Chains A and B, each alone.
Chain A
């Protein structure tokens, strides 16, 4: 019998769902919900891009307003403990 310790590296402090949203001419004005969940400490930036339906022009410009920054923090005994 052998015991093996396995460790995998994590790069992201967050999980989000869903990763894609679809808007049609029927539901374009109905808000859709994005949920950001804690995975481990750290800050992270998400890039939101749009394509299709005349929205493709957003992609080459990478408008900075479509970057979302988050910080994932632990809840310690003395308050939130955040690391960048």
Chain B
């Protein structure tokens, strides 16, 4: 009994269906003949998990990249060692390697890179048409 009234001496707050303690609230009355007040001592427990993170626990919204951009995301385009040219000939095709700098977020699916023709001086479309010069006998 204290000036607070009748209160539980201690209250445990546990996570539903797990038994994991989240918080305890301990009622502490003032000591007799002291200038203390009755008070509650609240202890909040943080829950740490060891091991690989469970992405499902974060419940990422589908548009999370709009609000939380990962500026480390990038594509690395590398030429073969010893080559620096962007000139392509009929006998010498160019090979490049593409890779990502950061792992994709699994909940958002795989990363797809797409290469399309960009409009320029010699072409004004993004869909290539193959050349053909032939004679047909009908």
By a beta-carbon cutoff of 8 Å, the part of chain A in contact with chain B is: 1-16, 19-25, 28-40, 42-58, 66-75, 80, 82, 84
Contacts and interface: CB of A to CB of B under 8 A. Distances in A.
Contact of B104 (A14, A23, A45): A23
A14 B36 CA distance: 84
B95 A34 contact: yes
Given A31-B99, A37-B93, A70-B88, A43 B120 contact: yes
A80 B89 contact: yes
B112 interface: yes
Q: Is the interface of A mostly helix, strand, loop or mixed?
A: strand
Interface string B73-111: 101011000000011111101111111101111101111
A54 B90 CA distance: 38
B6 interface: no
Nearest to B91: A75
Given A42-B123, A48-B77, A70-B88, 8 more contacts: A5-B133, A34-B95, A35-B95, A37-B88, A39-B131, A47-B115, A67-B118, A72-B88
Contacts of B70: 54, 57
Contacts of B33: none
A71 B118 contact: no
A28 B132 contact: no
6 contacts: A3-B135, A4-B135, A28-B103, A35-B94, A35-B95, A46-B117
